[in-house]
Chain A
């Protein structure tokens, strides 16, 4: 396997997660939503690559390609990541709706009611 590609992917997952965690810990709901989005990107990449990095290999059986595991990519993580993407997309939409509602109710965008300083 290509060590340089694996390193690149690992670094990207790490950077996304770091930024995501930083943003989730901030005080504004908007930042938290962005942070959760970044974390879900990182998680989706991570799931995908847990099926191992494979370049140019299809996940579906092809005519003329010998039937052994080294010729094919693992299709299961691809199915899992599809589910995870759909769920995180829907949940982000729900959270955004709640965030907008909170902005209307509170008049500010703070995660916690007490932190009125952000006004």
Chain B
């Protein structure tokens, strides 16, 4: 590996798409082919970077990148640990698939300025996963939200405009609360670096503890909005219904940003053993399983595929937050495994829905003789996605859920155990019912309006199905990796040492000379 890449690795997933976005804008809307080339190039580089990241972090090293060569905590630091590497890999995978899907749809179906917005969204996602600075996290949230507003409003009709209004307003309120929380923390501790905060929050004077707790609760509320936890999830289904479908597949990553932020917060900023951490975990242990239950009921009540998938996204967010609320090493590892599987399954279901959807309008008047090979493909892919999403064996959702439950059985009290087992299993059952009902309505009903599925989105959907199958077949190595990632999360001291101990570049050289 050459020296440039190894030094600058953590910044590449942000820098590459940002450069590509700028290039796309310079090239302009008239030369869409050049824009596409730039986007493809960026995605190829992003995939290569992600693979490199997975290989580098495999040894258990935390890579730290100091922006502008300012030593942490004075400058902004990026930290690449196993959790970040996994998330970047997911971003790269979904981005590549969405890119293929965007080509195979009808021309311009993804809308004007699709490529620059897409690239900006990728930069925002990657930055949010990599940054080790709380204010910088806010900035990347805004970057990815701004791009998502633009993508959501493509082909805006009445429904989309209304959904976008709700989505933008709730995110602006969330941003305001985020800023209050961040500045409270800065006012009390004098730092915004997550590693530095982790050390200083333990040592604040008793008079300031209330303020630190208030900041913690504010941040949890903000991340819960992004992750769509229960009382704050009502923006999600409307938004996902309204999004153009290849874009909705990309949105599968957006709730995961909130989830990963909650994970970082409860393992690094407010580390294990603190009173605030314990209080937040107690509340999340109640809220997250309720989210799962309510979301499964919502899935049962869904009348179209998009709402159904939207509700399952909420349910999977509930599952992931349950994992961090349980807090044990095993639960975190299982949660990370479930996160990988559920993100891929969501993206796949959205793409499959897109292939059903795009023909609906054109073929309504044709004869009802449906069962062609495309139809069988769409049905089979729907079944695979549904099984993975609901957590049926042998798919990855089952392995993840089982690991989380095993983690719960060793680390929380018996009454909580009963609660978690009951909610996870009941919500799983309800999701299976919801998907079975939707599947039979879509594919078996004679008078259904849908008669044929388009083949346009089949290739990307099959790729994602293949990824799900690979996740099941190679579950052991992936689980070893998630185990190590969870171990890193449970031992924040290594992250803290690495971030705060990293020396700026010229200092390193002069010390090497000595």
Contact = CB atoms under 8 A, between A and B. Distances in A.
Chain A interface mostly: helix
Interface string B148-165: 010001001110011011
A10 interface: no
B433 interface: no
A102 B165 contact: yes
A112 B159 CA distance: 11
Contact of A95 (B139, B169, B187): B169
B146 A47 contact: no
Contacts of A111: 165-166, 169
B179 A84 contact: yes
A46 B164 CA distance: 28
B183 A95 contact: no
B161 A32 contact: no
Contact of B175 (A46, A50, A80, A87): A87
Chain B interface mostly: helix
Given A90-B146, A91-B168, A113 B186 contact: no
Contacts of A80: 135, 182-183, 186
Interface string B180-212: 101110110000100000000000000000000
A91 B161 contact: no
Contacts of A84: 179
A52 B180 CA distance: 15
Contacts, number: 87
A118 interface: no
Nearest to B136: A83
B176 interface: yes
Contacts of B176: 36, 39-40, 43, 88
A80 B137 CA distance: 12
A39 B179 CA distance: 11
Contacts of A88: 172, 175-176
Q: 10 nearest interchain CB pairs?
A: A50-B187, A50-B183, A47-B183, A105-B158, A102-B161, A43-B179, A39-B176, A43-B176, A101-B161, A105-B161
Interface of B: 135, 139, 142, 146, 149, 153, 156-158, 161-162, 164-166, 168-169, 172-173, 175-176, 179-180, 182-184, 186-187, 192
30 contacts: A32-B169, A36-B173, A36-B176, A39-B173, A40-B172, A46-B179, A46-B180, A52-B187, A76-B186, A77-B183, A80-B186, A83-B135, A83-B139, A84-B179, A88-B175, A90-B146, A91-B142, A91-B175, A95-B165, A98-B161, A98-B165, A98-B168, A99-B165, A105-B156, A105-B161, A105-B162, A106-B161, A106-B162, A113-B158, A113-B162
